[in-house]
Amino acid sequence: MPEALTSQAATPALSCEGLRVGYGSRVVLERVSLDIPPGRWTSVVGPNGCGKSTLLRALAGLETARAGAIFLQGRRLQAWPRRERARRLAWLSQTAPITDLTAAEVVALGRFAHSGWLAHREADDEAAAHRAMTATGSLAWATRRLSTLSGGERQRVHLARVLAVEAPVLLLDEPTTHLDPPHQEDVARLLREQAQRRGVSVVSAIHDLSLALTADRVIVLGHSGVVGHGTVREALAGDWLSVAFETRVNIVEHQGVHLWRPALDIPPQQGIDR
Amino acid sequence: MSAPRALMELRDASLDRTGANRLTLWLLGCVAVTLLLTFGSLVIGTSSIETSLGWILSPDAQSSVVLWQIRLPRSVGAWLAGALLGLAGGIAQGVFRNPLADPYLLGTASGAALGVTISLIAADVSVGGLAWASKLGVTGAACLGAGGATLLTISLSRGVLQTRSLLLSGVVVAFLLGAITQLMLLAKPDIWRSMQSFLFGSTGFISWSSVGLLGTVFGLSIIPAVFLSRGLDALTLGEDTAQSLGLSLPALRLTLLGIVSLATAAAVGEVGVVGFVGLVAPHLVRETLSVNHRQLLIAAPLCGGALLQAADLASRWLIRPAELPVGAVTACVGGSYLVYLLWRRSRNA
């Protein structure tokens, strides 16, 4: 399996070179160059305010880069026609928007770039929506208005909307917020499946370090830029997390799983500011 | 569960059976009320001729003219103008993602008023002006004014990307054009008097040709609006998510705001600045039904049409044989409805 993945990784699904993004006078990302391989789940970790969301938004084409370039499947992001791009790249926002539409209507919007104004191949759209809702366990609320769902239920509907796009690149900003631990696990399993079975490039910002380290690869962001980008093993060997968080981050390995262990022996004034 | 059956269930789910039934009932209710109001407006009027069922069935020559050339076009025209305002309001609330948005917030109403004022003054001061104004007509002048105001608002906010600056520019343009209109009217008191009915809103001048114009504009606006309604649905998820779904935000906004200004200009040109219908009609739909934008853009015009028709009837009936300006009636009813909403919300909170 690893051999197959390395050969696939030769052509990045999504990449950026010398990316600089900022708001007003504040530069959030500077000289960021990344290659995101297909068929892998990459998680983006780093302290609050280091630019995880900004990176995902920039890669999704929602922020204007001040310098550098982004390439989707080898072609400049801006060069893609709007709808063709939307079919290849799906983005999940950090805040699950509340709307009066039903869950089924929201998931159907994931097929917006496929069907567009003129409905065509409706059966494909319905099948994709159905698969996505089944995968996220949100089919039971299909007729419910999003405004009547709980935060976690809403999150799963939005996740279904993103999956319904059936894009080769998924950019997910905090896909596990509002979810209870078993459902976080479900989402992690789902992302892994998308990467392994469908060859999708999944990039997700995840706060929970233990969960983030179940991904194939990590991009570790610090306040002064990218600390490192590589496999989970490389990240742990180089202790990138401690560098990024500017404090000792304890990761223990337990039966092949990496777990973040809160270091409670550290006095509060030196603790992690989160 | 077999795949085809599951798909059927999903399709049913997206249709939302009970919701669809409620919507159908609601729409049928609107149509029934409209028919009732049309009948009512045929038998109720300020003219002294007899009003009874028998009279409707066998009118004499004079009543026939009153019936078919005055009351029926007036009633149908009032419905169309209300429907246009309801549609424009529904679109505006979707585009601005604000339930308090109304068709006039781009400065269209003030622009239309200024256009009409200028055409009346031009007709008053010179022969050339009169020829120009009569060629254009009140409706044409109102449409030009409304269109100009919309363009001014959009260029002031430098495009349609920032909703907040669009709203602010709309307010500025409305004030500015309103002030210019007032200044012009100060200089011409006699025109001021004839402008009153326009500024208050009046359904008294609707002819069959007005109905033709309103109907054409209604058809031209509602079809593309319903066609673009899925974009408005996407917009409820936020601008970023909508863009990530492949929606072109500037194109959608420009087209829909164009429809809003066309619909508003036509309605204002024919019945003057009638307030609250465009705000209240979509609101009423959303308060009673949970709808997506396609359903809203069909239901809001039906509701707005019935509302303005009812207001028109009330304006003729309340102080008969005299007539109230229809805008005064909608302002009273619409205003009290909003106060009721506020009261209910503060009680629930």
Residue B137 identity: G
Structural tokens at position B47: 């003219």
Q: Could you give the CA distance from residue A72 to residue A162 in angstroms, rounded to a whole number?
A: 17
Structural tokens at position B169: 């520019």
Contact call for B233 and A105, based on CB within 8 A? yes
Contact call for B245 and A101, based on CB within 8 A? no
Parallel/antiparallel/unpaired status of strands A67-72 and A14-23: antiparallel
Q: Could you give the CA distance from residue B32 to residue B336 in angstroms, rounded to a whole number?
A: 24
Q: Between the CA of residue A127 and those of A163, B4, B130, B250, what are the distances in Å?
A: 12, 9, 64, 31
Considering only the beta carbons, identify the residue of B10, B227, B240 that sits closest to A129. Answer: B10
Question: B233 to chain A: which residues are within 8 Å by CB?
Answer: 99, 101, 105, 109
Q: Could you give the CA distance from residue B345 to residue B349 in angstroms, rounded to a whole number?
A: 6
Is cis: bond before A168, omega within 30 of 0?
no
Q: Give me the pLDDT at residue A3, please.
A: 39
Whether A6 has a pLDDT exceeding 50, the answer reads: no
What is the pTM for the complete model shown?
0.86
Q: Could you give the CA distance from residue B111 to residue B107 in angstroms, rounded to a whole number?
A: 6
Helix pair B326-348, B293-317: axis angle to 10 deg? 130
Whether B88 has a pLDDT exceeding 90, the answer reads: yes
Q: In what order do the strands lie in the sheet with A75-76?
A: A26-36, A14-23, A67-72, A75-76
Does residue B241 sit at the A interface (CB-CB below 8 Å)?
Answer: yes
Parallel/antiparallel/unpaired status of strands A41-45 and A201-205: parallel
Q: Which residues of B66-105 are buried (b: 16+ CB within 10 A; e: fewer)?
A: bbeebbbbbbbbbbbbbbbbbbbbbbbbbbbeeeebbbbb
Does residue A91 sit at the B interface (CB-CB below 8 Å)?
Answer: yes
Q: Give me the pLDDT at residue A104, please.
A: 94
**pLDDT tens per residue, range A31-48:** 999 999 999 999 999 999
Whether A265 has a pLDDT exceeding 50, the answer reads: yes
Does residue A99 sit at the B interface (CB-CB below 8 Å)?
Answer: yes
Contact call for B6 and A130, based on CB within 8 A? yes
Query: Which residue of chain B comes nearest to A92, CA vs CA?
Result: B241
More confident position, A107 or B160: A107
Q: Give me the pLDDT at residue A273, please.
A: 61
Considering only the beta carbons, identify the residue of A89, A105, A139 that sits closest to B292. Answer: A105
- Label each residue of A40-62 as H, E or C: CEEEEECCCCCCHHHHHHHHCCC
**pLDDT tens per residue, range B191-247:** 887 787 788 888 877 888 889 999 999 999 999 999 999 999 999 999 999 999 999
Structural tokens at position A171: 């950019």
Does residue A60 sit at the B interface (CB-CB below 8 Å)?
Answer: yes
Q: Could you give the CA distance from residue A136 to residue A126 in angstroms, rounded to a whole number?
A: 15
SS3 B41: helix
Residues 6+ positions from A88 with CB-CB distance below 8 Å: A72, A73, A80, A167, A168, A169
Query: Which residue of chain B comes nearest to A128, CA vs CA?
Result: B7
Does residue A247 sit at the B interface (CB-CB below 8 Å)?
Answer: no
**pLDDT tens per residue, range B35-69:** 888 888 777 765 555 555 556 666 677 777 777 88
The residue among B281, B238, B153, B213 whose CA lies nearest residue A93 is B238
Parallel/antiparallel/unpaired status of strands A257-260 and A251-254: antiparallel
Pick among A94, A101, A155, A172 to test the B interface (most B CBs inside 10 A): A101
Distance from CA of A195 to the nearest CA of B (A): 21
Q: Between the CA of residue B172 and those of B103, B104, B125, B250, what are the distances in Å?
A: 15, 12, 29, 22
Helix pair B249-271, B208-227: axis angle to 10 deg? 160
The residue among A167, A187, A156, A22 whose CA lies nearest residue A83 is A167
Structural tokens at position B173: 């343009």
Pick among A14, A72, A98, A102 to test the B interface (most B CBs inside 10 A): A102
Q: Between the CA of residue A211 and those of A192, A233, A257, B297, B302, what are the distances in Å?
A: 12, 15, 10, 44, 52
pLDDT bin (cut points 50, 70, 90) of residue B301 is very high
Whether A119 has a pLDDT exceeding 80, the answer reads: no
Query: Which residue of chain A comes nearest to B286, CA vs CA?
Result: A100
DSSP A213: T
**pLDDT tens per residue, range B233-286:** 999 999 999 999 999 999 999 899 999 989 998 998 888 888 889 999 999 898
Mean pLDDT of chain A: 88
Cα-Cα-Cα-Cα torsion B242, B246, B249, B251, nearest 10 degrees, comes to -150
The residue among B89, B36, B31, B60 whose CA lies nearest residue B313 is B36
- When computed from its CA atoms, the radius of gyration of chain B, rounded to whole angstroms, is 21
Residue A17: what are its φ and ψ, rounded to 5°?
Answer: -135, 125
Contact call for A117 and B291, based on CB within 8 A? no
Whether B85 has a pLDDT exceeding 80, the answer reads: yes
Q: Which residues of B275-285 are buried (b: 16+ CB within 10 A; e: fewer)?
A: bbbbbbbbbbb
**pLDDT tens per residue, range B323-338:** 888 888 998 888 888 8
Parallel/antiparallel/unpaired status of strands A41-45 and A67-72: unpaired
Considering only the beta carbons, identify the residue of A62, A117, A130 that sits closest to B10. Answer: A130
Q: Could you give the CA distance from residue B319 to residue B312 in angstroms, rounded to a whole number?
A: 12
Distance from CA of B167 to the nearest CA of A (A): 22
Q: In what order do the strands lie in the sheet with A217-222?
A: A89-92, A169-173, A201-205, A41-45, A217-222, A225-231
**pLDDT tens per residue, range A160-213:** 999 999 999 999 999 998 899 999 999 999 999 999 999 999 999 998 999 999
pLDDT bin (cut points 50, 70, 90) of residue A12 is confident
Contact call for A133 and B10, based on CB within 8 A? yes
Contact call for B14 and A142, based on CB within 8 A? yes
**pLDDT tens per residue, range A218-233:** 999 998 889 999 999 9
Question: B16 to chain A: which residues are within 8 Å by CB?
Answer: 102, 104, 143
Q: Which of B3-7, B161-165, B305-309 has the highest mean pLDDT?
A: B305-309
Q: Could you give the CA distance from residue B331 to residue A59 in angstroms, rounded to a whole number?
A: 50
* Cα separation of the two ends of chain B: 44
Q: H or E stretch including A256?
A: none
Q: Could you give the CA distance from residue A269 to residue B303 in angstroms, rounded to a whole number?
A: 62
**pLDDT tens per residue, range A49-92:** 899 999 999 999 999 999 999 999 999 999 999 999 999 999 99
Query: Which residue of chain B comes nearest to A86, CA vs CA?
Result: B246
What is the mean predicted confidence (pLDDT) over B118-146? 79
What are the helix (H) ranges across A14-120? 52-59, 82-88, 103-109, 112-115
Whether A19 has a pLDDT exceeding 60, the answer reads: yes
**Degrees (nearest 5) of the Cα angle B274, B159, B219?**
45
What are the helix (H) ranges across chain B? 3-15, 17-43, 53-57, 61-65, 72-95, 108-125, 127-156, 163-187, 189-200, 208-227, 229-235, 239-244, 249-271, 277-288, 293-317, 326-348
Considering only the beta carbons, identify the residue of A97, A102, A117 that sits closest to B237. Answer: A97
What is the mean predicted confidence (pLDDT) over A143-152? 91
Task: Output B25-30 pairs: Cβ under 8 A, ≥24 positions apart.
Answer: B26/B285, B26/B288, B26/B289, B26/B299, B27/B298, B27/B299, B27/B302, B30/B299, B30/B302, B30/B303, B30/B305, B30/B306
Work out whether the CA dihedral B314, B318, B320, B326 comes out positive or negative.
Answer: negative
Does residue B347 sit at the A interface (CB-CB below 8 Å)?
Answer: no
Question: A89 to chain B: which residues are within 8 Å by CB?
Answer: 244
Residues 6+ positions from B213 with CB-CB distance below 8 Å: B139, B266, B270
Q: Between the CA of residue B315 and those of B108, B200, B207, B254, what are the distances in Å?
A: 25, 12, 18, 36
Work out whether the CA dihedral A260, A262, A266, A267 comes out positive or negative.
Answer: positive
Question: A99 to chain B: which residues are within 8 Å by CB?
Answer: 233, 236-237
How many CA atoms, within 13 angstroms, populate the side-chain half-sphere of residue B34?
21
Q: Could you give the CA distance from residue A192 to residue B31 in angstroms, rounded to a whole number?
A: 53
Question: B17 to chain A: which residues are within 8 Å by CB?
Answer: 143
Q: Give me the pLDDT at residue B47, please.
A: 59
